[in-house]
Amino acid sequence: MTLKKAVIKDIEEEARKYFKNASGCHDWSHVDRVRNLALHIGRKEKADLFVLEIAALLHDIGRKKEMKNKGKFCHAEIGFDLAEKILKRLNFNEKQISNICHCIITHRFRNSHVPNSIEAKVLYDADKLDSIGAIGVARTCLFAGNAGSNTVYTGNEKNIAKRKKDYSYTKEDSAYLEFEVKLKHIKNKILTKTGKKIALDRHNYMKNYFKRMWQEVRGEK
């Protein structure tokens, strides 16, 4: 085993500790998908794959605390602090720590931090892409359930989306509301050329899914 592979293994073991009993929409399977997609995009975009893989493994280690507190804390900011401590303990150099932590704090759709490095842009794209398409529909249903929603849809989601001023979790949340508030806009926020191609395909799948859903609701299909 090479030194880099050994380090990645150590980071993975460390990161997994933060996902014990995590919700299905942000469990270890999400981290694994983001890692795989980030590496796929990163190879095409000529990113530093070592930095990128470490960042992908650590990007959501603050998520469980955010979910527990109903979205009152930003998991990317929590994750930044946690990751910095982990990386220093494992003797990463300052440049690597800076880039990895930058990737983590900028990966979130709903904060003001902007990804600047190619690694941060790739991680941002991979994380966003995992929230759309077929896997995105499944995850957003889990997300709504975890937020306390007791309905598949209300029929008023477009109106709710227009007046929703923040991103705190409420019982009004549904998979379709998440689509109206966030998911349908993601394809326009993807940063890399490779990510944009993937996003368009996943967006079209998701758009057709919800179109079909309303057709079934109305009894047309």
Q: Are 81 and 97 in contact (CB under 8 A)?
A: no
Whole-number pLDDT of residue 30: 92
User: 112: which DSSP letter?
Assistant: S
CB 31 within 8 A of CB 60: yes
Mean pLDDT to the nearest integer, 82-91: 94
Can you tell me the mean pLDDT for 6-25?
Answer: 87
CATH of domain 131-221: 1.20.58.1910
Nearest to 32, CA basis, from 13, 57, 49, 66 = 57
Q: What average pLDDT does range 75-85 have in this prediction?
A: 88
Query: Is the pLDDT confidence value at 169 over 60?
Result: no
Task: Show the 3-state SS of 124-156.
Answer: HHHHHHCCCHHHHHHHHHHHHHHCCCCCCCCCC
Is the pLDDT assigned to residue 167 strictly greater than 60? no
Structure tokens that stand for 109 in this block: 């759709």
pLDDT, tens digit (0-9, with 9 covering 90-100), for 129-156? 999 999 999 988 887 776 667 677 777 7
Average pLDDT of the residues of the chain? 87
Question: How many degrees, rounded to 5, is the angle at CA 50 between CA 45 and CA 55?
Answer: 90
- Supply the pTM of this predicted model: 0.85
Domain boundaries, the chain: 1-117, 131-221
The pLDDT > 90 percentage for the chain reads 60
Burial string for 164-201 (b: 16+ CB within 10 Å, else e) reads beeeebeebbbbbbbbbbbbbebbeebbbebbeebbee
What's the pLDDT at 75?
83
The verdict on domain 1-117 having CATH code 1.10.3210.10 is: yes
pLDDT of residue 71: 57
Which of 115, 118, 95 lies closest to 105 in space, CA to CA?
115
Which band of pLDDT confidence, cut at 50, 70 and 90, is reported for residue 66?
A: low
The first and second tokens of residue 157, run together, are 């989601």
More confident call, 132 vs 178: 132
